[in-house]
Each structure stands twice: as structure tokens, then as C-alpha cells.
Amino acid sequence: MTVITRFAPSPTGYLHVGGARTALFSWLYARKTQGEFVLRIEDTDRERSTEASVQAILDGMSWLGLDHDRGPIYQTDRFDRYNEVIQQLLEEGKAYRCYHSQAELDDMREQQKARGDKPRYDGSCRNLAEYPEDQPHVIRFRNPIEGSVYIDDLVRGQIEISNSELDDLIIARTDGTPTYNFTVVVDDWDMGITHVIRGDDHINNTPKQINILRALGAEVPKYAHVPMILGDDGKRLSKRHGAVGVMQYRDDGYLPQALLNYLVRLGWSHGDQEIFNVDEMIELFSLEGINRAPSAFNTEKLNWLNQHYMKTLPTSEVAQHLDWHLKEQGIEVSDKSVLEVLIPLFSERCETLKQLASQMRYMFEDVSEFNANAAKKHLKVSAAAPLKLLKEKMQSLNEWSAENIESAIEQTMTELEIGMGKIGMPLRVAITGAGQSPAMNILCSVLGKGICNQRIELALEFIEQRRLQSEQR
RNA sequence: GUCCCCAUCGUCUAGAGGCCUAGGACUCCAGGUUUUCAUCCUGGCAACAGGGGUUCGACUCCCCUUGGGGACGCCA
């Protein structure tokens, strides 16, 4: 039997990390079993569903590389089918019309709550003498009264819910449109879904859905309810912390590979292994490895993974993603090939592509000003002589290479009998404007002789200004 | 309130009754390597929620308590 899984978001917002992880698990399971992965858009709530949200979800999925084999299927395109099934249920007496107004229902709930009962529909329209079609009504599913529903959950084991806990849920609204718990059932059935992998906030919906499935004579799929993701503070994800769309992670400078790796390890594990590329995930993923407890999102670990992938992924791949951020930050790179050299150098000091791009800025643009602290500390009057000598030595190099630049620095040190700090740091501030950077000889070799000369001259002028100022005082 | 789910370092987790003096990873701290910063290497801090059982033996099984989460919509 071919495994068919699905991801079925409702387009009422962006694709957040919780949804993305559920999608990832479903996708991995389908890929691992060489099954099929269906994307279904649950847009029956026309009030809240938006085209923009659909796009955000599609964008998020594609950025993460979670490709679907079927879909996107929109539930709003399937109303005819839903109505057909509703009619069938009605005819078979498995569903019935209910004439209570929303206000009446609200009252009922209030009273039940006040009494300390579980709020639920009391079933008073279950056995009416007549069911007129022309009066405003909803359609309810006739839920079994006796017995229990058992879920053999692939991650939780067996769960029993008594039918007495369930009420006759509404499957069609007064306006005739079908509701969630019903459309899910019809779709999962029609699409032949074999494994429903979803958030555990749906556990309570599962027995209702199983009852409808049975009434329809449909096969009940296997269920795997994965725990929720909590925010950094252990609280439920909210817009204030963590519940941002996955595209925000792109904007913030994360690699899809890093997010994927982070997400797969959140609530799932394979022994002590921390690093998984996508192929390994597919190979090693199993539903048994999914944890039962909810887990908190930890940005620091995501950062660590992101840096790991910036350092270890082929530079050409990092370069592609970096390119987006360079453009975003208005940094123009005429010769893309230098990125091959720069990425390994800079990614050791950055956690995100966003930082990577911004830290590289001085490699592509003039240094507009020196970092105040760095300049104060290193562009001192005493640095003028070493810088000047080094500049001359660099200028007289026949071959402009990192090795030769390094020996120019070393010669300067020996001739003036000074340490690295007295020449390396002034050079660093002169060239980069900042107090820290990758190795100077390599940066200089990439920048070229002319630019290095210019920048050192500028730094020397800066020092001269400073000398004059101190003399005036 | 009722029902359902969950419970190992701060966080992510390993652990399928003896392998546990509870392992790994992130963070943090201390050393080392290093042309600064970082990377990297070595070491360290840090947990089985509590109480009862079952058992020769419990982190592992059962029950209770506590704590967290979820559901209870003409939302999905």
C-alpha cells in the first residue's frame, strides 16, 4: 500500500514554525516510504481565508523545499462533493437538520458552564417529527451515543474517548457551507490519505472524524499526533515571540537547511545525532522517533546550526542565498567569484547570512568611517610610522598575493622591532574600518593593491589630523 | 468546570527494568590554538517534579498528587 500523507493548512496567516514542522514530518514520511505528499488548502472559512495567506504558505513551503506531489487542492473547489456527501448522510439518517439559533446555542453553553458541565449540544433536534427544509437550519452529524472511540495513535499509543463526551457536531452551516471536521473527513477519504500527521491540538477532533468516517463506510487512516512547539519562554507560540512566518527566517538570514535541521530535531531524534542533511532526514526519519512532550523553540541552537551550515555547505550554495541578502542591503558585488574566498572567511564570525552580508560590506564599498573605538585604540600617532613602512613594502610587491603581503607585514615587524599588535591592528582598522575581521593578508589580497594603498593613505591622514589636534591642545 | 495529552540538565534530547557514578547537543564558565574577533580543541557547571506501589532491582511498569499544554465554535 502506498503511503499518502498530507499537509492541510488553513490560509488565515503565514506558515509558522509549528506548521512548517508538521509539514516537514508529513513530507519526510512520504519521501521515506516513497509515498505521496498532498498539499491541501483548507479555506472553507471564507471570512478569514485570504489569497495572501495562501501565497505565504506556498512561498514558505517552496523556500523550505517541501514539494508536494498533488495539489494544492482547495476545499472551496470541492463544495459540490461535500454537498453530495451531506445529502447522502441526510438520506441515510446519519445526519439531521437542527433549528436552534446561534443565540439559543450560546445560552445552552452558558448554562452548562454555570452548572460545571462540559458545554455541548444537547441533541434536542435529534428526533423531530418533521424536518422542514425551508426553515433556517444547520446540519448535524448523528454521533453514536454508546461506546468509545479508540485511536491507535502512532506516536501516543492508544487513546480512548467515550462517545458520551462527544456531541452532534455541525457539518453544514445555516448558509449551507460545510465545516472543518466534515471536509477533512471527506477529503482524507477521497484522497486516500493513509497517514494523518498533524498537531496534537487535533487529538480531540480525531474521534469525531473517525465516527464520520465510519458512518461513511470509509477506511480510517492511521494517525500520528505531534506535540506543539512552544516559544522561547516555554509558553504557547504567539505573535509576540516565535510565531513568525518561515519567510521571516529567510529575511533574518537563516538557511532553509538550518531551519529544516533545527525543526526536525525539535520533537524528533535519532540517538545523539544533531546534524542531518535532507537526505539523511529522509533516510532516518521514523514516526516512532517522535517525542510526546511539547518542546520549546530555542533560537540559540538554531543560530548554531545556521552557522554550521554556512561553514559546511558548498560555498556556491551559500553564495546563492547570500546574494539575496547582499541585494537586500544594497551591496553591489561586481565579481561574484570573490564570494568563494570570502564566505569561508566571514562565516566563521557570523551566525546569519544577514550578518554575513553586512560584515562584508567593506569588501565592496569604500570605508566611510572608522569605528570610533577601534580608531581610538589603533590609529594612534605611534601607528603612523609602521603603517607608512608597510604601505611602501606592499606597494613594491611584484606579485600581489596573500603570502607576499604576510611577509611584508613580517618584515615591517622585524625592521621596526614591533609586535603584531602594533602593525596588524592599525592595518585592520585602516582597511576594514573595524577592530575585528578575518586575516588581513587575505583580505588585502582580495581587495587589490590600489584599494589597499588608498585606504592606508586615508588612515594616515586620519592619524595626521589626530596629531595636529592633540598639538593644538 | 469537563474531557484529552504531557512530564530527564536553563533549552533540544539519549535512555524500551540491571549497560546510569544518567550520555550527547545548544547556552554559559575555565584553559589551549590563533595577526584581532571568531572558528577549532580540551575541560567544567547543570536534570530523572513529588509520593506511593510492583520487582531481587526502577529514569524506565502501575496508581495518586502537583505542574504544564490542548480541546470543549455555524474557526480550522
Residues A186 and A58 in one domain: yes
Residue A432, nucleotide of least CA–C1' distance: B36
Residue A165, nucleotide of least CA–C1' distance: B3
Residues A71 and A216 in one domain: yes
> Residue A409: its pLDDT value, please?
87
Residue A308, nucleotide of least CA–C1' distance: B39
Give the C-alpha separation, A400 to A37, whole Å: 55
> Residue A97: its pLDDT value, please?
93
- Within a domain: A118: yes
Give the C-alpha separation, A193 to A258, whole Å: 29
Boundary residue ending a domain (A313, A340, A363):
A363
User: What mean pLDDT comes out for the span A248-258?
Assistant: 95
Distance from CA(A150) to C1'(B4), angstroms, rounded = 12
For the stretch A179-201, pLDDT in tens is 999 999 999 999 999 999 999 98
Distance from CA(A205) to C1'(B23), angstroms, rounded = 38
Residues A211 and A304 in one domain: no
Distance from CA(A236) to C1'(B39), angstroms, rounded = 35
A41 sits in the region (left: phi over 0; alpha: psi -120 to 50; else beta) called beta
Residue A113, nucleotide of least CA–C1' distance: B1
Residues A358 and A382 in one domain: no
Distance from CA(A62) to C1'(B8), angstroms, rounded = 37
Residue A236, nucleotide of least CA–C1' distance: B69
Distance from CA(A411) to C1'(B35), angstroms, rounded = 14
User: What mean pLDDT comes out for the span A247-254?
Assistant: 94
Mean pLDDT for chain A overall: 90
- Within a domain: A446: yes
- Within a domain: A239: no
Alpha-carbon torsion (A110, A111, A113, A118), positive or negative: negative
Distance from CA(A229) to C1'(B13), angstroms, rounded = 15
Distance from CA(A257) to C1'(B54), angstroms, rounded = 47
Residue A119, nucleotide of least CA–C1' distance: B72
Residues A284 and A309 in one domain: yes
Distance from CA(A289) to C1'(B17), angstroms, rounded = 21
Residue A170, nucleotide of least CA–C1' distance: B74
Residues A188 and A43 in one domain: yes
> Residue A84: its pLDDT value, please?
95
* pLDDT of residue A240 exceeding 70: no
Q: Which residue is nearest to nucleotide B34 (CA to C1')?
A: A439
ipTM over 0.95: no
> Residue A173: its pLDDT value, please?
93
A332 sits in the region (left: phi over 0; alpha: psi -120 to 50; else beta) called beta
Residues A338 and A468 in one domain: no
For the stretch A371-382, pLDDT in tens is 888 878 888 888
Boundary residue ending a domain (A230, A259, A283):
A230
For the stretch A41-59, pLDDT in tens is 999 888 888 999 999 999 9
pTM: 0.92
Boundary residue ending a domain (A340, A363, A386):
A363
Residues A378 and A352 in one domain: no
* Of the candidates A322, A403, A309, A310, the residue with the CA atom closest to the CA atom of residue A361: A322
Residues A144 and A223 in one domain: yes
Q: Which residue is nearest to nucleotide B13 (CA to C1')?
A: A269
Residues A358 and A408 in one domain: no
Q: What is the CATH number of the domain that holds A178?
A: 3.40.50.620
Residue A305, nucleotide of least CA–C1' distance: B26
User: What mean pLDDT comes out for the span A298-302?
Assistant: 93
Distance from CA(A223) to C1'(B15), angstroms, rounded = 25
Distance from CA(A403) to C1'(B70), angstroms, rounded = 63
Q: What is the CATH number of the domain that holds A437?
A: 1.10.10.350
- Within a domain: A241: no
Q: Which residue is nearest to nucleotide B24 (CA to C1')?
A: A272
- Within a domain: A142: yes
- Within a domain: A131: yes
Q: Which residue is nearest to nucleotide B3 (CA to C1')?
A: A165
- Within a domain: A76: yes
Q: Which nucleotides on strand B sit less than 7 A from a protein beta carbon?
A: 1-8, 10-16, 23-27, 35-40, 68-76
Identify residue A211 by its one-letter amino acid code.
N
- Within a domain: A20: yes
Q: What is the CATH number of the domain that holds A348?
A: 1.10.1160.10
Give the C-alpha separation, A427 to A378, whole Å: 9
Domain that holds residue A413: 372-472
Query: Into how many domains does chain A fold?
Result: 3
Q: Pick the range with the lowest mean pLDDT from A70-84, A150-164, A247-261, A397-411.
A: A397-411
Residues A118 and A152 in one domain: yes
Residues A47 and A195 in one domain: yes
